[in-house]
């Protein structure tokens, strides 16, 4: 029988690591006992995705079940109750009768998509980031358990992609429309009003009309990055650190979608955003741009005159990357040979190398030698890896 372990490390001030213990941080990977936590016999859970927000985490398994743990003061775990946090992963009961295919976390809110393209939202809606204003739910500041949104304005068109930033969200419809909601005080929504000014807040999902044929979207702290079906990238929002891929001196912010020239990541590329940096994974290579204060670009130099807004390759001797997960200011990548590589902000041990010093250059971290890492994930300041063991590796 195949067995899977979930390892977690980094910030744990709200029990977001799911380790059943309260601690400020965990600086090296530690296994989460999912069998005991989820009441499973052997290891029946195979994880498809693991991600997190500021202080909460979500697991999506291959059967479409969603589990959560961590900070719950604003309902972001999707499990209502009086407790301010969940110390162990628990099944989100409200979603057990649907098949979820993707999940996303904002700072203190969450979203999910089912296999029919329906969108579910829960957690903080203080800035309209859940896109909820209906007769059924109302314009609530907090939604304690998942509620399905009816996108009537778009003929209930199925959703295929979802992303959440600090206080704004974006979804991509099956036809390639981009819809946004939430806070737009830094132009991160990309929506212009009738007086040609950036819209500062939207409580219901609204289309960004300058775009079509969108494949995927990634929301940062105050910026947004999209990928088209042709592999082109467009960005908008805050650009003080060059996170949009444009010179921040000339363009401190950009109000509407602007194409990044000379970058095309093809049909199989993927895009990612941290709080103030951006990245793309394409053909085994990672390209990054934006803020590098903590080494989040994987570049050792911190010269203030360096043009970090120009996308460059993240260099590592184990250069064929197959997965990337980006936290607020740190990165976790998986290579073809199963190595986990981390770099960037490490104040809470979120890089997993046993220290609290920032990691300027990508370095591998220690993982179980008998298993093979299948998947990596991140929250704002915490990280995950899923390790698969064969039957002959059970007795470690």
Integer Cα distance of 67 and 88 in angstroms: 9
Integer Cα distance of 5 and 272 in angstroms: 25
Q: Which of 91, 14, 17 is CA-nearest to residue 350?
A: 17
Positive or negative, the CA dihedral 96, 92, 219, 128 is positive
Contact 277, 243 (CB under 8 A): yes
Low-confidence ranges of the chain (pLDDT < 50): 41-43, 134-136, 395-396
The 10s digit of each residue's pLDDT in 370-386 is 899 999 999 999 999 99
* Both tokens assigned to 337: 């040979």
How many structural domains are present in the chain?
1
Residue 39: its pLDDT value, please? 56
Cβ neighbour number for residue 209 with a 10 Å cutoff: 13
Residue 213: burial class (beta carbons within 10 Å; 0-12, 13-18, 19+): middle
Residue 152: its pLDDT value, please? 74
**Could you please report the per-residue DSSP string of 189-208?**
T--B-TTS-B--EEEEEEE-
Q: What are the distances in angstroms from CA 150 to CA 25, 121, 128? A: 39, 11, 15
The 10s digit of each residue's pLDDT in 191-235 is 999 999 999 999 999 999 989 999 999 999 999 999 999 999 999
The 10s digit of each residue's pLDDT in 14-30 is 999 999 887 889 999 99
Residue 133: its pLDDT value, please? 67
CATH classification at residue 21:
2.130.10.30
Integer Cα distance of 98 and 116 in angstroms: 9
Residue 42: its pLDDT value, please? 46
Cβ neighbour number for residue 313 with a 10 Å cutoff: 12
Integer Cα distance of 381 and 337 in angstroms: 26
Residue 315: its pLDDT value, please? 86
Integer Cα distance of 199 and 5 in angstroms: 45
Residue 317: its pLDDT value, please? 74
Integer Cα distance of 16 and 32 in angstroms: 11
326: three-class secondary structure by DSSP = strand
Look up the domain containing 170 and give its range: 3-393
Q: Is 88 left (phi over 0), alpha (psi -120 to 50) or beta?
A: beta
Note the residue count of the chain. 396
Contact 170, 191 (CB under 8 A): no
Residue 340: its pLDDT value, please? 97
267: three-class secondary structure by DSSP = coil
């Amino acid at each position: 029988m195949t067995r899977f372990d979930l390892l977690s490390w980094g910030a744990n001030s709200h029990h977001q690591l799911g380790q059943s213990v309260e601690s400020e941080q965990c600086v090296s990977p530690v296994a989460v006992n999912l069998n005991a936590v989820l009441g499973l016999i052997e290891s029946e859970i195979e994880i498809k995705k693991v991600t997190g927000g500021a202080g909460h985490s979500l697991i999506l398994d291959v059967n479409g079940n969603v589990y959560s743990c961590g900070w719950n003061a604003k309902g972001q775990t999707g499990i209502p109750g009086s407790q301010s946090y969940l110390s162990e992963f628990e099944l989100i009961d409200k979603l057990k009768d649907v098949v979820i295919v993707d999940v996303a976390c904002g700072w203190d809110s969450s979203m999910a998509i089912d296999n029919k393209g329906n969108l579910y939202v829960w957690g903080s809606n203080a800035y309209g980031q859940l896109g909820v204003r209906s007769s059924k739910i109302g314009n609530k500041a907090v939604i304690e358990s998942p509620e399905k949104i009816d996108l009537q304005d778009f003929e209930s068109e199925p959703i295929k992609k979802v992303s959440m930033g600090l206080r704004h969200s974006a979804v991509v419809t099956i036809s390639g429309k981009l819809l946004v909601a939430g806070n737009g005080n830094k132009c991160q929504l990309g929506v212009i009003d009738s007086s040609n000014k950036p819209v500062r807040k939207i409580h219901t999902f609204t289309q960004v009309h300058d775009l079509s044929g969108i494949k995927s979207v990634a929301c940062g702290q105050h910026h947004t990055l999209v990928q088209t079906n042709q592999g082109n990238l467009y960005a908008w929002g805050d650009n003080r650190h060059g996170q949009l891929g444009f010179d921040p001196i000339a363009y401190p912010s950009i109000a509407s979608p602007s194409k990044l020239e000379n970058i095309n990541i093809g049909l199989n590329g993927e895009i990612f955003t941290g709080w103030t940096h951006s990245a793309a994974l394409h053909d085994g290579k990672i390209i990054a741009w934006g803020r590098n204060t903590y080494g989040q670009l994987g570049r050792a130099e911190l010269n203030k005159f360096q043009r970090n807004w120009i996308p460059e390759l993240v260099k590592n001797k184990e250069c064929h990357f197959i997965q990337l997960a980006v936290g607020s200011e740190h990165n976790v990548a998986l290579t073809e040979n199963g190595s986990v590589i981390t770099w960037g902000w490490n104040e809470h041990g979120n890089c997993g190398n046993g220290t609290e010093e920032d990691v300027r250059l990508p370095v591998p971290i220690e993982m179980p030698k008998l298993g093979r890492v299948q998947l990596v994930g991140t929250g704002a300041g915490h990280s995950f890896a899923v390790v698969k063991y064969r039957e002959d590796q059970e007795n470690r």
